[in-house]
């Protein structure tokens, strides 16, 4: 049988995964033990200059064991499935834990958790799709690019994952889920455009639609004009905004805020930290963000790697931050409850399309992609980066003409305070975000990037 035409998923089953963890716990001689298992199948088709150049598939398997003796702990791992390798990993973890220094931020093992009563999305087609089937999808994209006279490149990938965790204090969890991703860059002369879409099932990816839009935008970016740097109203595509919003979410860390190292820090007149800014009106009232792995476009796992529940959590309500990420140590020190990390996120949008948002905008810059975003000042959350792959000037509700790419230096909390309109949401990576319009955004210089 030709396995390139009729592949079979080789992920281990959920019952087998939990059996491995239970056996590992029973073999432990430590005061406490935490065991995790991850098995992931990834496949990717890469193409450039309108032809496929690579088809790869790989399988990753890992069991990690963390052993505890009092306040000492150590972790060991193995990529082998057989029982002898796992037993040796347990012993190695225990040997290292016995001689490890005491952890000054030690916390007891997590007690048993209750996870959401839902099943993450596992799409059989995504888990088993053959290289031939992926190639057929990509061939259509390459043919459309060639017909339009543009060079198309990008990737089409699929992942199928099973994650399982267990500890000697009653934590038990096992989830499996799938993800598919399509990325496409179109180049013609001095013009280029890009887009990326993600879904839990490969059949949900709007491959043809995304390719057609990207090709049309690439053609429209040729012969860009130069505009002066300065502060402009901006409309960000969903993808561009996703790459900026996530920086603000990453920085919702309680310890950094309490210690005066974050834009969420409250300080006195001498600059000394006096707590955090939870509950303050910091952003536009239309900025509403949840941690929501169960969102229909995500449907991801129900727990974090450390065992805490990854349930729905209100992060920003009507522009007011509602939650910070507390490590278990910092939560105990501050008398708070650790609710896990601030991902994956879903921001509320509207029924309006991005085109409709442009149509009711008198004057602005349209940014299709935010590229190479980096810190300028972590304390204020000022970042720098460049526009790329489709930057335009909007005039009288229309895309008037392409412009040369610009470097930006922007304080992101101020950007979020200036959001005055949002579009429909889309999924990019593990975030669900709208396109947005911002009243003021600072461009510092023109760049020669394409």
Domains of the chain: 14-216 (3.30.2290.10), 230-446 (no CATH)
Instruction: Give the mean model confidence (pLDDT) for residues 262-269.
Output: 93
pLDDT digits (tens, 9 = 90+) for 313-345: 999 999 999 999 999 999 999 999 999 999 999
Closest CA to 310 of 300, 322, 320: 300
The sheet carrying 172-188 orders its strands as: 72-78, 51-69, 32-48, 151-167, 172-188, 191-199
Per-residue HEC secondary structure of 328-373 comes to HHHHHHHCCCCCCCCCCEEECCCCCCHHHHHHCCCEEEEECCEEEE
- At residue 384's C-alpha, the angle toward residues 379 and 389, to 5°, is 150
Average pLDDT value over all residues in the chain: 96
The whole-angstrom separation of Cα 47 and Cα 41 is 20
Q: What are the pLDDT digits (tens) for 11-31? A: 999 999 999 999 999 999 999
Q: Tens digit of pLDDT for each residue in 164-205?
A: 999 999 999 999 999 999 999 999 999 999 999 999 999 999
The total number of residues shown for the chain amounts to: 450
Rounded Cα gap, residues 163 and 116, in angstroms: 15
Report the distance separating Cα 200 and Cα 293, nearest Å: 12
Place of tokens 């002898």: 84
Q: Are strands 320-321 and 370-377 parallel, antiparallel or unpaired?
A: unpaired
Question: What is the rounded distance in angstroms from the CA atom of residue 325 to the CA atom of residue 343?
Answer: 10
Q: What is the pLDDT of residue 270?
A: 86
Given this model, what pLDDT does residue 112 score?
Answer: 97
Determine what percent of the chain is predicted with pLDDT higher than 70: 98
Q: How confident is the model at residue 2 (pLDDT cuts 50, 70, 90)?
A: very low
% of residues, the chain, pLDDT over 90:
95
**357 has pLDDT over 60:** yes
Q: Can you give the pLDDT at residue 8? A: 52
Mean pLDDT of 295-300: 98
The 3-state DSSP composition of the chain as helix, strand, coil percent (nearest 5) reads: 25, 40, 35
* Burial class for 227, CB neighbours closer than 10 Å (0-12, 13-18, 19+): middle
Shortest CA distance to 390 belongs to which of 364, 369, 371? 369
């Amino acid at each position: 049988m030709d396995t390139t035409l009729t592949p079979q998923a080789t992920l281990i089953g959920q019952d087998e995964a939990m059996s491995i963890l239970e056996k590992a716990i029973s073999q432990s001689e430590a005061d406490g033990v935490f065991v995790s298992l991850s098995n992931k199948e990834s496949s990717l088709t890469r193409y450039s200059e309108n032809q496929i150049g690579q088809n790869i598939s790989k399988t990753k398997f890992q069991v990690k064991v963390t052993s505890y003796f009092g306040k000492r702990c150590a972790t060991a791992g193995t990529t082998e499935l057989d029982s002898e390798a796992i037993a040796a990993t347990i012993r190695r973890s225990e040997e290292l834990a016995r001689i490890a220094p005491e952890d000054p931020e030690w916390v007891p093992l997590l007690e048993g958790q209750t996870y959401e009563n839902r099943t993450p999305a596992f799409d059989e087609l995504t888990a088993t799709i053959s290289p031939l089937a992926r190639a057929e999808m990509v061939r259509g994209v390459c043919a459309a690019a060639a017909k339009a006279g543009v060079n198309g490149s990008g990737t089409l990938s699929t992942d199928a994952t099973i994650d399982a965790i267990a500890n000697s204090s009653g934590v038990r969890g096992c989830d499996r889920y799938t993800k598919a991703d399509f990325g496409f860059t179109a180049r013609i002369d001095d013009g280029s455009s890009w887009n990326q879409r993600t879904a839990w099932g490969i059949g949900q990816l709007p491959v043809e639609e995304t390719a057609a839009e990207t090709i049309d935008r690439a053609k429209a970016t040729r012969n860009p004009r130069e505009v002066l740097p300065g502060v402009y109203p901006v409309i960000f595509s969903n993808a561009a905004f996703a790459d900026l919003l996530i920086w603000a979410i990453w920085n919702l860390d309680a310890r950094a805020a309490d210690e005066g190292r974050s834009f969420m820090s409250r300080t006195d007149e001498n600059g000394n930290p006096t707590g955090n800014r939870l509950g303050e009106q910091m952003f536009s009232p239309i900025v509403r963000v949840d941690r929501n792995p169960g969102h229909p476009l995500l449907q991801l796992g129900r727990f974090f790697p450390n065992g805490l529940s990854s349930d729905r959590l209100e992060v920003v309500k009507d522009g007011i931050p509602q939650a910070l990420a507390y490590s278990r140590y910092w939560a105990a020190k501050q008398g708070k409850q650790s609710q896990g990390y601030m991902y994956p996120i879903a921001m509320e949008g509207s029924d309006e399309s991005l085109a409709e948002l442009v149509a009711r905008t008198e004057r602005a810059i349209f940014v299709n992609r935010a590229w190479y975003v980096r810190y300028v000042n972590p304390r204020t959350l000022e970042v720098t980066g460049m526009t790329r792959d489709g930057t335009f000037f909007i005039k009288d509700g229309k895309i008037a003409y392409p412009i040369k790419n610009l470097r930006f230096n922007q304080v992101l909390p101020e950007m979020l305070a200036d959001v005055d309109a949002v579009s429909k949401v889309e999924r990019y990576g593990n975030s669900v975000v709208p396109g947005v319009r911002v009243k003021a955004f600072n461009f510092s210089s023109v760049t020669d990037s394409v």
